[in-house]
Amino acid sequence: MRASRVLRMTLEYDGTSYHGFAIQPGLPTIQGVVERGLTQILGAATRVTPAGRTDAGVHAKGQVISFQTDSCRPAQTIGRGLNALLPDDIAVVACNDASPSFDARRSAVRRHYRYSVWNDARPSVWWRDYALHAPGSFDVEAMNVAAAALVGRHDFSSFVGHASQEPAATSAVRSVERAEWNRRGGLLHFFCSGNAFARHMVRGMAGTLLWVGRGRLSPQEFGQVLAARDRRAAGPNAPARGLMLVAVDYEEETCL
Amino acid sequence: MRASRVLRMTLEYDGTSYHGFAIQPGLPTIQGVVERGLTQILGAATRVTPAGRTDAGVHAKGQVISFQTDSCRPAQTIGRGLNALLPDDIAVVACNDASPSFDARRSAVRRHYRYSVWNDARPSVWWRDYALHAPGSFDVEAMNVAAAALVGRHDFSSFVGHASQEPAATSAVRSVERAEWNRRGGLLHFFCSGNAFARHMVRGMAGTLLWVGRGRLSPQEFGQVLAARDRRAAGPNAPARGLMLVAVDYEEETCL
């Protein structure tokens, strides 16, 4: 095999119909569909590495993947060719040559997520797959006071994994740079950026902050949940459909 | 049967999975689903009248329906009850008592439609069901010069029905008050308002205006198409998925 060329590709997808990013035998996954298409276009079995493995039902506007190829076709031609093969709920946003050392996961320096809540008495047809529907009032100011405690380098064990699971063996220490809620009409958006996120971490934070918004936890008690480093102290994970991987940043430039 | 109460209800729906508004035996339709739900809630067979019968694949943010009922339950309770029964691609936006003479179709004084085009080289996951994907450049200024000819009271026979059909026997005289294109990022929106629209009329106008945008017709030639009152003079209907019934106005107030 020749020295490989590395490509970097940005994808958007509606995760509603998929069992998450990571390939699973016999189940529709983003990785499965994308690798099948690339293998067909490039004429050789192709494996991709994502910046983040999104869960079942989670969406992406700016997922980044990297892969090796011996093809000498222009990157844009490969991107266009893949778009023609992909189903309409997955699309290539960009495809470029990267340095041989580029790895979508290891090279990423920052991930941007958004969690959305449709906060209205009636359901929304347009947000049905992209937001949690939660009627009633939320104290957004209290949610933001609480969310401010997340910014910085912390052990996020309280928000990692399912509530029913034992704490994970791997470290949950991460650096969060931004954690804030905004209201835009009937929508509440939680913007969360950091160097990396452990499994279910954004959904665990969002679900627990929604408890703060309902007055079930005070912002002070939310700080104690974070400090507890115990998943059982926090609220439930907010449902997957409200979560969007918005963008991933790399050293040299911002993607998307 | 007692003197009936008339209710006015505003609906939003994603028309992707339906064979249009109007009921058709054995096929999923908006009317079929809504009438089944209302019949269940009200305990009596209920027929509804819409402001406009949207075609298969066409969406609505502000479709208005009217129906009679002997129920004495509050209108909001009926709306909420129906929302609980409806699938997630149809939702009740509002439900109110109306005057006994109110009829969603005959009382309407103005309809507002929007036709959307995703104008980018790559497809959009988010607009896949809500816009026509058309890459390449469009001369939006020329499209707006042409569209201005639509404003006023005209015989719109050139834009009514399918291109393959003979002209309809019924009159195609309508009054259009607004017809203009706006660019918003990668999207082109055609806003079209008028007292009423004949079948396929907005899609026929949008499809022919896209020909103007491509330089296939000049704005002057577009005026000749309108004047011809002949469906064969115009371009093809733009696909249904780009069309949205945005709102319907009534004498006393604006709906939505």
Contact list, B13 vs chain A (CB under 8 Å): 125
Say what percent of chain B tops pLDDT 90.
88
pLDDT digit string, tens, across residues A101-142: 999 999 999 999 999 999 999 999 999 999 999 999 999 999
Q: How many CB pairs under 8 A join A and B?
A: 46
Interface residue of B14, B80, B92, B125 to substitute, partner A, most A CBs within 10 Å? B125
Average pLDDT over residues A70-95: 96
Residue B195, Ramachandran bin (φ over 0: left; ψ between -120 and 50: alpha; else beta): alpha
Structure tokens at A193: 């950026």
Contact list, A125 vs chain B (CB under 8 Å): 12-14, 88-91
Q: Note the pLDDT of residue B149.
A: 96
B13 pLDDT higher than 60? yes
Contact B130, B61 (CB under 8 A): no
Q: Note the pLDDT of residue B165.
A: 52
Average pLDDT over residues A190-195: 96
Q: Note the pLDDT of residue A95.
A: 97
Helix H, strand E, coil C: the string for chain A is CCCCEEEEEEEEECHHHCCCCCCCCCCCCHHHHHHHHHHHHHCCCCCCEECCCCCCCCEEEEEEEEEEECCCCCHHHHHHHHHHHCCCCEEEEEEEEECCCCCCCCCEEEEEEEEEEECCCCCCCCCCCCCEECCCCCCHHHHHHHHHCCCEEEECHHHCCCCCCCCCCCCCEEEEEEEEEEEECCEEEEEEEECCCCCCHHHHHHHHHHHHHCCCCCHHHHHHHHHHCCHHHCCCCCCHHHEEEEEEEECCCECC
Average pLDDT over residues B182-208: 95
Q: Note the pLDDT of residue A176.
A: 95
Say what percent of chain A tops pLDDT 70.
94
Q: Cα distance from B14 to chain A (closest Cα, Å)?
A: 7
Residues of B serving a catalytic function are 55
pLDDT digit string, tens, across residues B95-137: 999 999 999 999 999 999 999 999 999 999 999 999 999 999 9
Range of lowest pLDDT (A197-201, B55-59, B141-145, B185-189): A197-201
Is A92 in Cβ contact with B125 (below 8 Å)? Answer: no
Q: Note the pLDDT of residue A251.
A: 86
Residues of B with CB under 8 A from a CB of A: 12-14, 79-80, 83, 88-93, 121-126, 128
Nearest C-alpha neighbor of A147 from the set A173, A115, A184: A115
Please give the Cα distance from A37 to A201 (Å, whole number): 31
Mean pLDDT of chain B: 93
Q: b/e string for B95-107 if b means 16 or more Cβ within 10 A?
A: beebeeebebeeb
B254 pLDDT higher than 70? no
| CA distance readout (Å), B182 to A42, B140, B144 | 40, 8, 9
A1 pLDDT higher than 70? no
Beta bridge partners of A191: A114, A180
Q: What does DSSP assign to residue B3?
A: P
A164 pLDDT higher than 60? no
Average pLDDT over residues B68-77: 95
Beta bridge partners of A192: A113, A179
Contact B90, B224 (CB under 8 A): no
pLDDT digit string, tens, across residues A224-252: 999 999 899 988 999 999 999 999 999 86
Indicate the pLDDT class of residue B166, thresholds 50, 70 and 90: low
Interface residue of B85, B122, B132 to substitute, partner A, most A CBs within 10 Å? B122
DSSP three-state, residue B133: strand
Q: Token pair 């469906």 is at which residue?
A: B231
Is B91 in Cβ contact with A122 (below 8 Å)? Answer: yes
Is B88 in Cβ contact with A122 (below 8 Å)? Answer: no
pLDDT digit string, tens, across residues A170-185: 789 999 999 999 999 9
Indicate the pLDDT class of residue B169, thresholds 50, 70 and 90: low
Contact list, B14 vs chain A (CB under 8 Å): 125-126
B143: enclosing H helix or E strand? helix B140-148
Q: Cα distance from B80 to chain A (closest Cα, Å)?
A: 8
pTM for this predicted structure = 0.90
B255 pLDDT higher than 50? no
Q: Note the pLDDT of residue A2.
A: 57
Is A70 tagged catalytic? no
Contact list, A123 vs chain B (CB under 8 Å): 83, 88, 91
Q: Note the pLDDT of residue A254.
A: 43
A96 pLDDT higher than 60? yes
Complex-level ipTM:
0.87
pLDDT digit string, tens, across residues A14-68: 999 999 999 999 999 999 999 999 999 999 999 999 999 999 999 999 999 999 9
Q: Which of B88, B90, B123 sits opposite A91 (nearest CB)?
A: B123
Please give the Cα distance from B174 to B237 (Å, whole number): 18
pLDDT digit string, tens, across residues B19-60: 999 999 999 999 999 999 999 999 999 999 999 999 999 999
Indicate the pLDDT class of residue A161, thresholds 50, 70 and 90: confident
Please give the Cα distance from B240 to B15 (Å, whole number): 9
Q: What does DSSP assign to residue B130?
A: T
Structure tokens at A131: 């937001």
Q: Which of A14, A92, A128 sits opposite B122 (nearest CB)?
A: A92
Nearest C-alpha neighbor of A6 from the set A137, A140, A101: A101
Give residue A74's Cα distance to chain centre: 29
Average pLDDT over residues B176-188: 96
Q: Which position among A55, A120, A139, A230 bears the catalytic label?
A: A55
Nearest C-alpha neighbor of A142 from the set A226, A206, A224, A219: A219
B209 pLDDT higher than 90? yes
Interface residue of A18, A54, A114, A125 to substitute, partner B, most B CBs within 10 Å? A125
Q: Note the pLDDT of residue B162.
A: 55
**Minimal Cα distance from A87: which residue of B?**
B125
B189 pLDDT higher than 80? yes
Neighbouring C-beta atoms of residue B144, cutoff 10 Å: 18
